[in-house]
Structure 1
Amino acid sequence: MQIMIAACSAKASCGVLIAAMAAITLVVGRATAQERPRAGRTDTKRNRYLLLDSRIIESSHNAKLTVGAVRKDKHNPLMKEDRPWEPYYSNLYGKVVYDEQDKLFKCWYSIFIESRLESDTPRAKRAWAKWTESPRAGGVCYATSKDGIHWEKPNLGVIDFQGSKQNNIVLRAPHGVTVIKDPHEANPQKRYKAILPSRAATKVWFSPDGIHWKLHKLPGLDYGDTHNCVFRDSALKKYVLFTRRWTRKPIPGKRYGRYGYRQVSRSESPDFLNWSKARVVFEGPSVDRQIHDLIVFPHAGVYLGLVGLFDLEADRQHVELAWSPDGIQWHWVCQGAPLIANSPHVGDYDWGCIFATTPIFQKDRVLLYYGGSANRFFGWRDSFLCRASLRPDGFAGYEQVEGGSNKTATITTKPVRAVTGSLRLSADLAAAGYVRVTILDKENRELAQSERIARTVTDAEVRWPKGFSFEKLKGDEIRLRFELRDAKVYSFSFDD
């Protein structure tokens, strides 16, 4: 099977997808019928559409797709290496959730709880000491927060560290364990789940509270030496795992080049115990720009991916954006344009590396927690838990290529079904900007033109002139043409 990965050219300032498309072909194993997601994620009858989904865009004029504006929290960094069992976060692989039942933010973070070199070398002396990868051991720690900003590391009394259990360690396990809370699980003893794939033996844990865990050893899956991502896919009614594959084709002169280069593989399971064979689904644009990790989550009828892009030449990592109709065929969104960029200030808390976590969707924003490192990937570095945010549906949107009072942009969709009697829109507007929507039938005949939207809106109902009712289009296939000036449009939805 061949997978075509479309790239929106950063050199062209992430210009119109159709005009700026490049193709990278990955040859992977043939997908089985069980691996093909159901049509629910690929049809055009859903109620919410992100404009980054190129399947629904028929044409555009004077418009370009650009990534959203991430705002880093003024309180960053939120958490740092400040316990004896936290000598080296390294790549802080975190999983942050907001527990509605407990009204609490919870964070599980996979780090090195033992690292000889970092423990033996005080920070004040590291500028004059050579860094090497020293003997180390991994673990998973647990922290909580009432407001998502101020974090506590409770003494849990679970895992022994140097003769004491007064710490917040919940697992001793190699670096890369990832955790989920599964509200769909009927067995309360399996409410929380954790996994660490590897080629030799995959480890799975279940827990009633996210603190006390029971281990199950399974057959090997894939290399797993990465920021693994797992979630329950409600469309498939299965658990889906994204992990790492090494090509095993040596690349002379590259660190870890004896393993080849990094790829992303995917596996799925009906019960978190029996996993399908992992198959490669995504890789970076070049040997020097590899995908270190991929954090995947379903949203608005597609799968979005926060791509940890590791620049081997710069020895740094930032986060880009990708999307997929099925979790198997992946497309870059403005390849080369960071969604979460490194700080421009050398030594700042995320100047060196960024490792994303699964977003938390709130009513008025999307929270993006991430691990940040102040220094380069290989070397001495201090690491932290950090936070950023996006506006709702603000991962990417269309805006004008050329501005000015006489310049507008238009984007026309392919036919979509109006599943309810109301059309809603999310967009950012400048002071003099506007968005106007025209409804077209399947033959491109104009049915109605909306009133102007002249302010920033989130899921705002589009208003129509007197005498026209959107309700009469319910169930019909229609096209939408968005006219915009000094605006950025992210999504539309049908919602009563």
Structure 2
Amino acid sequence: MSAQGYSQNTFIGSNRELFVDDFLIDQLEGASMEMHAPIDEGVAFNLDNPWEGKFSLYSTIIKDDSIYRAYYRGLPDVIEGNDRELTCYAESKDGINWYKPNLGIHEVNGSKDNNVILVDKELTHNFSPFLDTNPNAKANEKYKALAGKKVTGLYSLSSEDGIHWVKTKNEPVINEGNLDSQNVSFWSPGENKYLVYFRTMDSGFRSVSRASSVDFETWDQGVEMKYGEAPLEHLYTQQTSPYFRAPQIYLAIGGRFMPDKQVVTDEQAAQMGIDPNYYKACSDAFLMSSRGGAVYNRYFMESFIRPGIGLSNWVSRTNYPALNVVQTSDSEMSIYVNQDYAQPTAHLRRYSMRLDGFSSLSAGYDGGNMLSKPFVFEGGALELNYSTSAAGEIFIELLDENGNKIPGFSKEECQPIIGNELARTVYWNKNTDVSKLSGKTVRMKIYLKDANIYSFRFH
């Protein structure tokens, strides 16, 4: 598959590189790119407060040091767009066990005993915050957000604690686009500016455009994102954000909408208490990536998270992932998915993955290999995140830019790599030092048998 328009800049420095695209792949022989399904870990928390309910959606998860914060729209059993839309908040110390604090900020249903952080109807349809990593960000604007919809435009907000929010301007900062789903933003250290990915339309399909800003208030004109040779599909949400272990790669784990695929019958919907307007379509989760610019790479067209067993998973607008993947143990990361939308059992569900384990370079028992494109690295050792079977193994070979073996770094001199580790240093002739090749153009050839490589980096 082609690189679908990515820049051919081959300087990778000491970045961690994932096998979510073919950015560095030149040739595959007996090997392939394999996407890995996250593991269902059950309900993270139910959306069962009277002010939350069936239509709660557009969730964001932020890990700030030892605190995990969840933001989501609360909307009970009423039509979307009603003035009862609220922004709710939940918190966790481990990303697994969640609670909803009584914040006492806004009165709802005659009481301030609730977890509501926003009640402004201009802001609560699809409030989407982020932790600002801009080194020049003001201390009282540690958190930023965009919120609004097509009829209002998107407003910019800020917060010092992630709970109490204020508008930074009284007028919207973005007015173009459809804006009726989650419009996500973040600070990009690689591009040195703020980015927003927002809902637009492309040839009748729900799609994505991108704009940028240096101050989060003045934004350039948005440009439509392209998908290379991938067919257009309805991308209801896209959830684009830098992967926390490789921020040069923006991962998009969003909701794919199939508007004309009805699975649940009218009779079944009535029995399940599903809102009549929300069962004549279905949705699942997809995975794509970008390395900046107006291009997504959709290397994998298959579903990243398939709908689960049971008709409750086959309802319109269920299975929409929350924004952001967060680390939840030394070896695990988690993604959260809104499920049972428009149903009394609406909830946020947690799925787990191995660190970097979205996809991998893979080969079966018969073995295979991958030849990289020429690239330049910085560092003194090569580290792999990998797994093999007991019968499997991996060898790494470093070549010059013309594909010739470099003495001291051939396959024959590489110590066999066997096991299952998140960080394993590669040895050649009992030596790990590759510093003499740092800054030079090289290729890498990876030989695998019954093995997977999830990521690598020079460090």
Fold shared, TM-score > 0.5 on shorter chain: yes
Distance 1:361 1:187 in 2: 26
Q: CA deviation at 1:49?
A: 2.1
Cα offsets for 1:245-293 (capped at 9, x unmatched): 135x7xxxxxxxxxx4311111111111111222221479667x41111
Q: Residue 60 in 1 paired to residue 23 in 2?
A: no
Q: Does 1:274 align with 2:218?
A: yes
Measure, in 1, the Cα distance between the counterparts of 2:348 and 2:314.
9
Counterparts of 1:276 and 1:82, CA distance in 2: 40
TM-score normalised per structure 2: 0.83
Match of 2:337 in 1: 371
1:342 aligns with 2:301: no
Identity percentage of aligned residues? 26
Mapping of 1:277-296 within 5 angstroms? 277-282=221-226, 289-296=233-240
1: CA distance between counterparts of 2:431 and 2:188?
43
Corresponding letter in the other structure for 2:78: R
Aligned residue in 2 for 1:178? 128
Q: Output the CA distance in 2 between the equivalents of 1:170 and 1:364.
A: 31
Contact 1:197 1:223 in 2 (8 A): no
Shift of 1:344: 2.8
1:354 shift after superposition: 2.8
Q: Would you say 1:225 and 2:177 are equivalent positions?
A: no
Q: Could you say which residue in structure 1 is the equivalent of 2:144?
A: 193
> What's the C-alpha RMSD, in Å, of the aligned pairs?
2.8
The superposition leaves residues 303-356 of structure 1 with CA deviations (integer Å, 9 ceiling, x where unpaired) of 222132112233222211112221421111221x22222213333699942323
**2: CA distance, partners of 1:396 / 1:445:** 29
Provide Cα deviations, 1:452-473, integer angstroms capped at 9, x if missing partner. Answer: 1111122210011258853332
Matches within 5 A, 1:33-52: 42-47=9-14, 48-52=16-20
Distance 1:494 1:409 in 2: 23
Cα distance in 2 for residues equivalent to 1:479 and 1:363? 34
Runs of 4+ in 1 over 6 A off after TM superposition: none
CA contact (8 A) 1:365 1:389 kept: no
Q: Is structure 2 residue 370 aligned with structure 1 residue 411?
A: yes
Question: In the superposition, relative to structure 1, how do residues 88 and 362 fare at CA in structure 2: closer, same or farther (>3 Å)?
Answer: closer
What residue number does 1:435 align with? 394
Show the counterpart of 2:354: 391
**Code of the aligned partner of 1:169:** V
Does the 8 Å CA contact 1:440/1:446 hold for their aligned counterparts? yes
The answer (yes or no) to whether the contact 1:224–1:245 under 8 Å persists in 2 is: yes
Shift of 1:363: 7.0
Q: Deviation of residue 158 (structure 1)?
A: 1.1
Aligned length: 421
The worse-fitting range, judged by mean Cα deviation, of 187-196 and 340-349 is 340-349
- How far off its partner does 1:79 sit? 0.9
Q: 1:362 to 1:443 in 2, by over 3 A?
A: farther
Answering whether residue 50 of structure 2 is matched by residue 106 of structure 1, we say: no
Letter of the structure 2 residue corresponding to residue 270 of structure 1:
V
Q: Distance in 2 between matches of 1:271 and 1:394?
A: 34
Contact 1:81 1:89 in 2 (8 A): no
Q: CA deviation at 1:491?
A: 1.9
Task: Please report how far the alpha carbon of residue 87 of structure 1 lies from its aligned counterpart in structure 2 after TM superposition.
Answer: 2.7
Report the CA distance shift for 1:218/1:444 in structure 2 as closer, same or farther (over 3 A): same
Q: Which amino acid aligns with 2:417?
A: I
Change (3 A) 1:313 1:42: farther
Unaligned runs of 5+ in 2: 262-280
**How far, CA to CA, are the matches of 1:372 and 1:457 in structure 2?**
31
Contact 1:349 1:372 in 2 (8 A): no
Question: How many Å separate the matches in 1 of 2:357 and 2:331?
Answer: 9
Alignment map for 1:205-284 (pairs within 5 Å): 205-215=157-167, 216=169, 217-219=171-173, 220-246=175-201, 260-282=204-226
Encode CA deviations 1:366-423: one digit per residue, 9 max, x unaligned. Answer: 5333233236xxx5463211211222222211212xx44xx21000111222411211
The residue aligned with 1:459 is 423
1:320 is matched with 286
Q: Do 1:196 and 1:224's aligned partners in 2 also have CA atoms closer than 8 Å?
A: no
Is residue 478 of structure 1 aligned with residue 442 of structure 2?
A: yes
Q: Distance in 2 between matches of 1:410 and 1:51?
A: 14
CA distance 1:348–1:292, change in 2 (3 Å): closer
Aligned counterpart, 2:404: 445
